Amino acid sequence: MSNLEVDPQELVCEAEPAASGAIELLEPRDVPLGGPRAMTVRRTLPQRGRSLIGAWCFADHYGPDDVAATGGMVVPPHPHTGLQTVSWLFAGEIEHRDSTGAHAMVRPGELNLMTAGRGIQHSEVSTPATRMLHGVQLWTALPDSDRHRAPLFERFVPKVFDHDGASVSVFLGSLLGRTSTASAFTPIVGAQFDLPANTTVTVPVETTFEYGILVDTGIVEFDGTAVPAAHVGYRAPGATQLTIASGEDAARLLLLGGEPFGEEIVMWWNFVGRSHDEIVASRSRWMAEVIDHADPDGQFGQVHGYDGRALPAPELPLGRLRPR
């Protein structure tokens, strides 16, 4: 999914100092994606207090949305650099097309992973049969060693298994003896947990990883701290296990984790780079090559099969980027 904010801000994202053993609660902010009937997402990453959890640098949670009321998801071709997009649905279906030639359907429980590398463009449109749309859009930052690689699209369907009474699916990285075959370029993990009411699970984890749980439904206790729906509970490195418990209602959540990224990144709109000048250059190439049709087969390639125009980049903010 594109970051469709009208006025996206540039962000310098650094590895924040490790917190204590206490759980840090990250509150979401509502971000409307476009016009009056457009979807509104709840964004927990990045934010002022915490930009990254491992390589996870962006987290939008949306729905359940009545497509008849919101118009669903209609995102024209748009660019990405220096990141992976992780599309994960709880309900509905989205048609994906990108400039690698990939044409795929995003469905609940099925990972669609797009590695932008040096540059890619893609479109995302909810299908006509979709009545309710509900899911997350996540990004991971690519390390410097891999951020200029060729773009890639992958699909992976994880097997669901039981752990302490919860249903678990590992869609990226490794957890609980299960490993995703999808490409990961840093030590990382992404998994869905579905907990029946009044269920407690204990999850052995990597002590070098930091972790976040993004709660979709229910109220979850994460190492003893209540985390409401749409919020993220963050745990600094050092834990040998995590304890996750549901209350009187069933709960669904994503566990996101990884080794602290260790590289400073600059994010603006749909680009992840390392400097203000790099972001400016990416925007200029997108506008020239695709919007102004100077080189349709250039850095971002072409999306075939989408009936409509590509998305112009917003105007850059005034002044140079300043770390915050």
- The answer to whether position 64 is within a domain reads yes
In-domain check, residue 253 = yes
Residue type, 33: L
| Token reading at 99 | 């400039």
> Using CA atoms, how far apart are residues 215 and 208, in angstroms rounded to an integer?
23
Structure tokens at 248: 């009187």
In a domain? residue 285: no
Residue-wise pLDDT tens digits, 18-42: 456 799 999 999 998 765 557 899 9
Encode pLDDT of 284-324 as tens digits.
999 999 999 988 889 999 999 999 999 999 999 887 764 43
The SS3 of residue 115 is strand
Vertex 93 angle, CA 312 and 111, to 5°: 85
Q: Is the pLDDT of residue 10 over 70?
A: no
Is 304 annotated to bind ligand? no
Task: Give the pLDDT of residue 16.
Answer: 57
217-222 mean pLDDT: 97
pLDDT at 72 over 70: yes
Is residue 28 one of the residues assigned to a domain?
yes
Instruction: Tell whether 199 is covered by a domain.
Output: yes
Query: Token pair for residue 34?
Result: 């476009």
State pLDDT tens for residues 172-194.
Answer: 999 999 999 999 999 999 999 99
Amino acid 293 reads: H
78 is an annotated ligand-binding site residue: yes
Confidence (pLDDT) at 229: 98
Residues 125-141, mean pLDDT to the nearest whole number: 98
- pLDDT for 324 equals 32
122 among annotated binding-site residues? yes
- Cis before 317? omega within 30: no
Q: Would you say how long the chain is, in residues?
A: 324
At 201 the pLDDT is: 99
Q: How far is CA 166 from the centre of its chain?
A: 23
Across the range 252-259, mean pLDDT stands at: 99
Query: Which residues span the domain enclosing 40?
Result: 19-258
- Asked if residue 279 is part of any domain, the answer here is no
Which tops the pLDDT comparison, 230 or 19? 230
Q: Cα 199 vs. chain centroid, distance in angstroms?
A: 27
Residue 214's CATH number: 2.60.120.10
The answer to the question of residue 1 being in a domain is no
Whether the per-residue pLDDT at 1 is higher than 80: the answer is no
Other beta carbons within 10 angstroms of residue 93's beta carbon come to 17
Write out the DSSP string of 199-263. -EEEEE--TT-EEEEEEEES-EEETTEEE-TT-EEEE-TT-SEEEEEE-SS-EEEEEEEES---S
CA–CA dist 85, 176 (Å, integer): 24
Do residues 94 and 127 touch, judged by C-beta distance below 8 A? Answer: yes
Interatomic CA distance for residues 33 and 41, integer angstroms: 7
Whole-number pLDDT of residue 89: 99
CA angle, 44 then 156 then 41, to 5°:
25
pLDDT at residue 12 tops 90: no
Average pLDDT over residues 6-19: 57
Among all chains, which residue has been given the structure tokens 């590695």? 115
Q: How many domains does the chain have?
A: 1
Q: How far is CA 100 from its chain centroid?
A: 20
pLDDT value at 15 more than 70: no
Which pLDDT does position 323 carry in this prediction?
Answer: 40
CA–chain centroid gap for 129, Å, is 24
Q: How many CB atoms lie within 10 A of CB 30?
A: 9
The answer to the question of whether 124 is labelled as a binding residue is yes
What's the pLDDT score for residue 39? 82
